[in-house]
Structure 1
Amino acid sequence: MAISIETFFLSPDGEGTLQARIQQMIAHGILSGRFRKGEKLPSSRKLAQHLGVSRITVTLAYTELLANDYLESRDRSGYFVSENAPEPPQFTPNPTSNGDNIDWSRALGRRFTGGRTPTKPLDWSSYRYPFIYGQTDPSLFDHANWRHCALQALGQKDFSALTTDYFDQDDPKLIEFIARHTLPRRGILAQPDEILVTMGAQNALWLTAQVLLTQRRTAAIEEPCYHALRDILTQSRCHLSAVEVDPNGLPPEALPDHADVIFTTPSHQSPTNATMPLDRRKALLDKAREMDALIVEDDYEFEISFLGSPSPALKSLDTEGRVIYVGSFSKSIFPGLRLGYLVGSKQFIRECRALRASVLRHPPGHIQRTAAYFLSLGHYDSLIRRMGQVFARRRKVMEQALADHGLGVEGRGVFGGSSIWMRAPKGVDTEELDHALRARSVLIEPGRTFFRGPGAPRNFYRLAYSSIPSEHIPEGIAILAQELAKARS
């Protein structure tokens, strides 16, 4: 690999002759680790021209570095960092060595760290028993057809989709599919200007919070709830009111009368998996009308309904434009896709579109067009059917294993889903349990992050079956039961 000539410059404050300063510059690059063994340096002519010095000055500097074993010369190929060059020192850099003397505790106007968003291991697939939520199972994903769609989107016919700056608009093919195929399955009819493509559901929730909430407004959220949503709303500086869910999800009668926006996950409550029945959905709409509040419906995991047809979306029952709908392809296709959508009244979508344009303009056109092909050619429906069949088998195996070991199930999706919400005995800290299980190649998701406040319960956890083969589930649950027994004693 050649070292870019732009990385070479002579400091105006340097001391000594030009030859000595060039030697110091290259030696420092090697000793700091910026220039690595075997990398090629620019020719003496090009470097001299770049630095504005004579060629002989550079040649003499190279010759001196050659003699000191910093460089080596290869026949007709030029100069390279020597394989015998001094090794960069192994030390922790001085925190002030980069000249950062700013008092960041005063300089930061707002802070976005400090939430309870968990850190998930990037090497989850190396665990034998990964009861980890939200990752793609490579044995289920349709690599071949996704690659085919990506190549098709790179073709000359789709050149404009690949290269166009849509500014605040989206790929019309993707919008058309969402409007004509995805939303009608949920009982929702929407026009193109009532749909906005987002960088996943989390981005959709952020846009919604930014547009609807102020420091004087109140948001009602479920307790427990999706931890990233709570972080988003905390950062918006609005007032937060947490409403405890029951086995049927969010109870409308428990909502505070002063709430301006209600956030809910009626299809599969996150994380308990509770499914809100139809009569409660109607009651929630009536309550919102009475309060003159808006509802944000995160239609989380509605596609993973292998036990029966999902209930109608809350948005499909809305006759007043009161419900804002959040959907996502990231969970059902693959999480790294980061592609979701917002559906709402034109006035609301117009403001979200303007905000999105000021932050990221639009999701990449090639990703949108690839997804549009994957959806419209039927690959997405095939993937969902295959996932549903496999998840149904895995869930059956997991439920039997949990029953065999007498482990406490707190919530499971009525129509399906990809996880089971668990409760450990009182006194068990599932974060400590998680640490012990990792040593035995088992991954679980501790539940404390889903709750608000310092007194959050520590004995809940989530087990997902989306990324673990059926044959590994019984043994993994057996290890879990063993560690739970140790934690109780």
Structure 2
Amino acid sequence: MDLHISLEGRGDRTDRIYRQLRDAILDGRLRPGERVPPSRELARSLSVARNTVAAAYDRLVGDGFLEGRAGAGTFVAYSGEPQAPSRRAPAGPLLPARRWAALADEPPPTPPARYDLRVGHPDPALFPLATWRRLLSRSLRATADYADPSGLPGLRGAIARHVGLSRSVRAGGEDVLVTAGAQQAIDLVGRVLIEPGTVAAVEEPGYRPVRRLFGSHGARVVGVPVDADGIVVDAIPPSARLVYVTPSHQHPLGTAMSLARRSALLAWAQEHRAAIVEDDYDSEFRFSDRPLEPLQSLDRAGRVIYVGSFSKTLLPSLRLGFLVAPEALRPALRAARRLADWHGEPAAQAALAAFIDEGLLQRHLRSVARVYAARHELVVRAARGPLAPWFSLVPSSAGLHVALRCTAPLDVPLDVPGLVRGLRAAGVAVEPLTHFYAEPPRVPDPGLAIGYGAIATADLPEALDRLADQADRADQAGSVD
């Protein structure tokens, strides 16, 4: 048999002989039962040592592509279907499941601006890095083995005590499952509760990554309007089996769900045998008013899954979150976590447990809350002063952002997209409220979400001045048109 093998160029000759013979077998050029040249003969034709060819043959025999027959030679043993030889037309690329077609178009992150007013970005400069480095170094020496998928018991207990005291969440350590941030917590809930076609209700406007996440699990996601009291319970589809809400600080409007609306939502969930995912993402920072009871503490029917995160309180790159789930869901959630990534990072979990137990988290929260309160006040003053001709403040007393709604008459609306572009050119990054809708709202909702977590307090007045200046320019341009 004339068998062409090229050894031109550099590289391991044994490996190149192996791969070319394997490819010839896979695409059918060498058929099952066909004899290959003796190693001595092929080595002579290739001008290589016999051991080079013999080593390639040994690999092919070991992988099941060739077999040696005593006294007869070496033959092709592989009997699978030929795999698209290069001389044939290609079969086409591998494609993802259809539901991923609309989920794979997420734009790349934009570079940070000089003045960052985006939502959901805490200030990394406030993170106690030296303290964390000390705790993490200590933890690395004590955590070297695989861990529990639910999280280290010490951290689970510490989280239960923390949220019990700070947020009135009713939980013990056995109720807590530690996750890689709130996003993984919600993903695990989706894995456990969503089947193809399950109706999942989300706030509109709301946190868009959750809508996309539920859709990736095959859910039919339905947006439900939000008013001053929270999600409009009467508008939730009766077929919904999962409802995602941000009751303590609605994302992005910033309002708190009223007690009456919380009670109505819990009654609805019990009547329709639905689950509620309560995302309490940044309510640690409250600047006035007493916080309302979380849905989880009001729930008596086991319908609420409470989700929290340390990315907003500590550092965005610190992927640590948690969920508190009803007992009936815990085994499935634990199995989902184990199947997803086995367990979290034990050293970081141990460090966080010590951070909480030694009182360092509460000390840190008190410290940064004063900083964020000052920034919140600066934004409120600007909304009621220099920004008042164009915006009104949506009442909010917690979290790391507020919403501003345009007050310009609808017959001469403020060009918010143009305003955002102008601000970006002026070094200010800000998000319009329309970005938080899955589809353009039926009733126009022009406005901005103003985040003050990532910007230094000293820089905030200048950023707000630039916002007022650009709003004035956009207003004048609209009036001329």
TM over 0.5: yes
Cα pair 2:285 2:399 within 8 Å, conserved: yes
Q: Deviations over 1:17-54 (max 9, x none)?
A: xxx7469xxxxxxxxxxxxxxxxxxxxxxxxxxxxx99
Would you say 1:445 and 2:426 are equivalent positions? Answer: no
Match of 1:107 in 2: 95
Count of residues in Structure 1 that have an aligned counterpart in Structure 2: 393
1:406-417 mapped onto 2 (5 Å cutoff) = 406=388, 407-414=390-397, 416-417=398-399
Task: Please tell me whether Structure 1 or Structure 2 has the larger radius of gyration of its CA atoms.
Answer: 2
- Partner Cα distance (1:368, 1:281) in 2: 32
- Give the drift of 1:218: 1.5
- Give the drift of 1:256: 2.4
What SS does the corresponding residue of 1:204 show, helix, strand or coil?
Answer: helix
What SS does the corresponding residue of 2:239 show, helix, strand or coil?
Answer: coil
The structure 2 residue matched to 1:477, chosen from 464, 470, 479, is 464
- Give the drift of 1:230: 0.7
Match of 2:257 in 1: 276
Match of 2:170 in 1: 189
- Partner Cα distance (2:391, 2:102) in 1: 31
Would you say 1:400 and 2:381 are equivalent positions? Answer: yes
- Give the drift of 1:311: 1.3
1:40-79 mapped onto 2 (5 Å cutoff) = none
- Give the drift of 1:288: 1.8
Match of 2:70 in 1: none
Cα pair 1:14 1:21 within 8 Å, conserved: no
1:263-412 mapped onto 2 (5 Å cutoff) = 263-405=244-386, 406=388, 407-412=390-395
Match of 1:487 in 2: 474
- Give the drift of 1:119: 4.7
- Partner Cα distance (2:106, 2:247) in 1: 22
**Distance change in 2, residues 1:252/1:369 (3 Å):** same
Q: Deviations over 1:192-226 (max 9, x none)?
A: 33221111111111111121122342212111010
Paired AA for residue 228 in structure 2: P
Match of 2:187 in 1: 206
Cα pair 2:150 2:176 within 8 Å, conserved: no
Cα pair 2:118 2:450 within 8 Å, conserved: yes
- Give the drift of 1:434: 2.7
Paired AA for residue 423 in structure 1: R
Would you say 1:460 and 2:432 are equivalent positions? Answer: no
Cα pair 1:272 1:410 within 8 Å, conserved: no
What SS does the corresponding residue of 1:139 show, helix, strand or coil?
Answer: helix
Cα pair 1:265 1:297 within 8 Å, conserved: yes
Cα pair 1:356 1:362 within 8 Å, conserved: yes
- Give the drift of 1:292: 2.3
Cα pair 1:298 1:326 within 8 Å, conserved: yes
Q: Deviations over 1:429-478 (max 9, x none)?
A: 54443332222111112333310225675733211111223332222122
- Give the drift of 1:264: 0.9
**Distance change in 2, residues 1:258/1:109 (3 Å):** closer
1:88-103 mapped onto 2 (5 Å cutoff) = 103=92
Cα pair 1:137 1:467 within 8 Å, conserved: yes
Structure 1 window deviating more from structure 2 (472-481 vs 404-413): it is 404-413
**With structure 2 as the length reference, what TM-score do the two structures score?**
0.75
The structure 2 residue matched to 1:423, chosen from 395, 399, 405, is 405
The structure 1 residue matched to 2:422, chosen from 436, 460, 473, is 436
Cα pair 1:117 1:449 within 8 Å, conserved: no
**With structure 1 as the length reference, what TM-score do the two structures score?**
0.74
- Partner Cα distance (1:486, 1:224) in 2: 27
The structure 2 residue matched to 1:238, chosen from 219, 228, 241, is 219
**Distance change in 2, residues 1:468/1:216 (3 Å):** closer
- Partner Cα distance (1:287, 1:13) in 2: 71
> Share of identical aligned residues, percent?
33
4+ aligned runs moved over 6 Å, structure 1 = none
